[in-house]
Chain A
Amino acid sequence: MTDLNKLGLADARDALRKGETTSKDLTEACLKAIDGAGALNAFVHRTPEIAMEQAAAADARIKQGDAPAMCGLPIGIKDLFCTKGVPSQAGSRILEGFLPEYESTVSQKLKDSGAVMLGKLNMDEFAMGSSNETSVYGNAVNPWRRAGDTAELTPGGSSGGSAAAVAADLCLAATGTDTGGSIRQPAAFTGTVGIKPTYGRCSRWGIVAFASSLDQAGPMTKTVRDAAIMLEAMCGHDAKDSTSADLAVPDFEAALTGDIRGKKIGIPREYRMDGMPEEIEKLWQDGIAMMKDAGAEIVDISLPHTKYALPAYYVIAPAEASSNLARYDGVRFGHRAKLDHGDGITEMYEKTRAEGFGHEVQRRVMVGTYVLSAGFYDAYYNRARKVRTLIKKDFEDVFAQGIDSILTPATPSAAFGLGEMKDADPVAMYLNDVFTVTVNLAGLPGVALPTGQSATGLPLGLQLIGRPWEEAELLSSAYALERAAGFVAKPEKWW
């Protein structure tokens, strides 16, 4: 077999079980691809020794007939996940040199199911960003380019390294995390599949916290089937995360019938934004037609508070971040500033955080501090939480009307150029998450998958939003859409 790194999880798993290849060969193919892809800056800490050791163990396991779902499959792990003894910096200078003494629940579950870790993946600092341009490691680069153009494009963010690595076949799949769209937007920008499960499906334990009421981990993969396989291995109850749901994990792959006959698919009118590019509108209409052809019933719906989701998010997420990031004080782990004579503990905190946090993180921590401060707590933070209640109710109302899932664009545009947003105000960058952020605020599952290409040949994605805990049905609808769209384009190798 050639080009083993180009396989997806399902194909590689089947080949392993049939004895047509080995985890060692798969892993070596990925490590070689990673070595040749420095220009993408996707893998920022490589772990080839760990990978080869795990591959050998996986091959032994498969030989004994004990091959759980992910056994022998080489994947990348977002830098936000703590991995024991392996740098886990959340893309930040403040965690330089940090070597966790423990393993995140999600990465442990993947390990337990036999997955092979190739290394850690680039991301926006503390997952705050939509272009992977706030990372201490520098930009991750999208393997896709506009036709006839060599300008470097963003792979999206914050899981930009994960998306770039999967799209460029440096790994079979990768973990991501999603607080406002950080799995789904990069997936859409790179022609890959990403699902953010229902809040509480995946344990947050050991994942560096950004905004705890919104953060969820999920898989980033090459196909919907792969997403089903990997999601199942990642989720499940964990006593170490009090918000982790004590619910049985369904067999997501077995549920992939792709039969959506009679399903009611909602099309929210508020997602038709002013100034939305025509190609995004067309992508959406094409998706609607595909779902209809597959037997679904298309229903126009209204989610009246959509417009207020981004402003509510930019109160709630910074507020939670300012609290979560208070732990980076230069005492227990990570960077500590060099102090001048006479500096006390307050100077130590202030200098450490000024040196350790990048600009966007500092800005969000301070915005969060402001909206939580005395006199503004009610006007901003409490009001945003009330609006969040209304946004969730919008979804509850349409689900109560019998809507099974909701189809929307994943992003307002195709991938943009690195540096292109440099002079824009911060709000312009925030608008990237306009279609995804409602899902985090409502705690719902959402999946992005590629269904078309822009005029310049870049991938474009649609998003399906499901009912809480109904990832199985959501993935099955996504599978139907994937089959109808038949997206097979891959980026031309230039790196």
Chain B
Amino acid sequence: MSIDENTAARVAKLARIKVEPDALPALAEEFNTILGFIEQLGEVDVEGIEPMTTVTPQRLKRREDVVTDGDQQDAVLANAPDAREGFFAVPKVVE
């Protein structure tokens, strides 16, 4: 499995990271080095083995389905790059 520039560009797009076209060849090469390393996993016999979902065998705790927090609008917005009138502001999404 080898990653070409188009695949690298597609992955960057999926990850929502802007990568300039002239950086794509080097990026593709790095991906190939890392994936080449990961390919070793193909040697392992995993027939009948369950993929791990939790490393410590414990049942996740449940709690009452009740409101535990709230009324913190100012705290929630305190670190926003652009907050207006009690909301997060973003560029226009819908025309």
Contacts of B75 in A (CB 8 A): 101-102
Task: Give residues 94-121 of A contacting B (CB, 8 Å).
Answer: 97-102
1/0 per residue B14-45: CB within 8 Å of A? 11111100000001001101110111111110
1/0 per residue A314-332: CB within 8 Å of B? 1100000010001001111
Interface of B is mostly: loop
Q: Which residue in A333, A349, A425 is a CB contact (below 8 Å) of B33?
A: A425
Whether B41 contacts A383 by the Cβ 8 Å rule is yes
Whether A392 contacts B38 by the Cβ 8 Å rule is no
Instruction: Give, as a whole number of angstroms, the nearest-CB distance from B68 to chain A.
Output: 9
Contacts of B63 in A (CB 8 A): 239
With both beta carbons as reference points, the residue of chain A lying nearest to B33 in the complex is identified as A425
Q: Which residue in A101, A353, A425 is a CB contact (below 8 Å) of B16?
A: A353
Contacts A334-B81, A344-B91 given; indicate if A386 touches B51 (C-beta within 8 A). yes
With both beta carbons as reference points, the residue of chain B lying nearest to A350 in the complex is identified as B18
Whether B56 contacts A322 by the Cβ 8 Å rule is no
Q: How far is the CA of A48 from the CA of B46 in the complex (A)?
A: 54
With both beta carbons as reference points, the residue of chain B lying nearest to A98 in the complex is identified as B79
* A390 located at the interface, meaning its Cβ lies under 8 Å from any Cβ of chain B in the complex: yes
Whether A199 contacts B14 by the Cβ 8 Å rule is no
Contacts of A442 in B (CB 8 A): 55
* A385 located at the interface, meaning its Cβ lies under 8 Å from any Cβ of chain B in the complex: yes
Instruction: Give, as a whole number of angstroms, the nearest-CB distance from A422 to chain B.
Output: 14
Whether A332 contacts B46 by the Cβ 8 Å rule is no
Instruction: Give, as a whole number of angstroms, the nearest-CB distance from B21 to chain A.
Output: 13
With both beta carbons as reference points, the residue of chain B lying nearest to A427 in the complex is identified as B37
With both beta carbons as reference points, the residue of chain A lying nearest to B68 in the complex is identified as A239
With both beta carbons as reference points, the residue of chain B lying nearest to A363 in the complex is identified as B30
Most buried by A among B44, B54, B75, B80: B44
Instruction: Give, as a whole number of angstroms, the nearest-CB distance from B57 to chain A.
Output: 9
Q: How far is the CA of A345 from the CA of B93 in the complex (A)?
A: 6
Whether A427 contacts B81 by the Cβ 8 Å rule is no
Q: How far is the CA of A483 from the CA of B58 in the complex (A)?
A: 36
Whether A322 contacts B15 by the Cβ 8 Å rule is yes
With both beta carbons as reference points, the residue of chain B lying nearest to A353 in the complex is identified as B17
Q: How far is the CA of A99 from the CA of B27 in the complex (A)?
A: 33
Whether A389 contacts B50 by the Cβ 8 Å rule is yes
* A387 located at the interface, meaning its Cβ lies under 8 Å from any Cβ of chain B in the complex: yes
Task: Give residues 356-382 of A contacting B (CB, 8 Å).
Answer: 357, 362-363, 365-367, 369-371, 373, 380, 382
Whether B11 contacts A370 by the Cβ 8 Å rule is yes
Whether B15 contacts A365 by the Cβ 8 Å rule is yes
Contacts of B90 in A (CB 8 A): 331, 345, 348
Whether B81 contacts A336 by the Cβ 8 Å rule is yes
Contacts A246-B61, A344-B93, A392-B55 given; indicate if A334 touches B79 (C-beta within 8 A). yes
Contacts A390-B49, A392-B55, A443-B55 given; indicate if A357 touches B17 (C-beta within 8 A). yes
* A388 located at the interface, meaning its Cβ lies under 8 Å from any Cβ of chain B in the complex: yes
Q: Which residue in A308, A333, A366 is a CB contact (below 8 Å) of B12?
A: A366
Whether A311 contacts B38 by the Cβ 8 Å rule is yes
1/0 per residue B62-82: CB within 8 Å of A? 010000000010011011111
Q: List 10 A-B contacts (CB under 8 A).
A: A199-B55, A213-B55, A243-B60, A311-B40, A331-B81, A349-B16, A363-B34, A365-B17, A366-B11, A385-B53
List chain A positions with a Cβ less than 8 A from chain B.
Answer: 97-102, 198-200, 213, 239, 242-243, 245-246, 305, 307-308, 310-312, 314-315, 322, 326, 329-336, 339, 343-351, 353-354, 357, 362-363, 365-367, 369-371, 373, 380, 382-390, 392, 425-427, 430, 441-443, 468
Closest 4 A/B residue pairs (Cβ): A443-B55, A385-B51, A336-B81, A333-B79
**Beyond A332-B76, A425-B33: 15 further Cβ-contacts under 8 Å?**
A101-B75, A239-B63, A243-B54, A311-B37, A311-B39, A315-B38, A330-B81, A344-B91, A344-B93, A347-B91, A370-B11, A390-B49, A392-B52, A442-B55, A468-B56
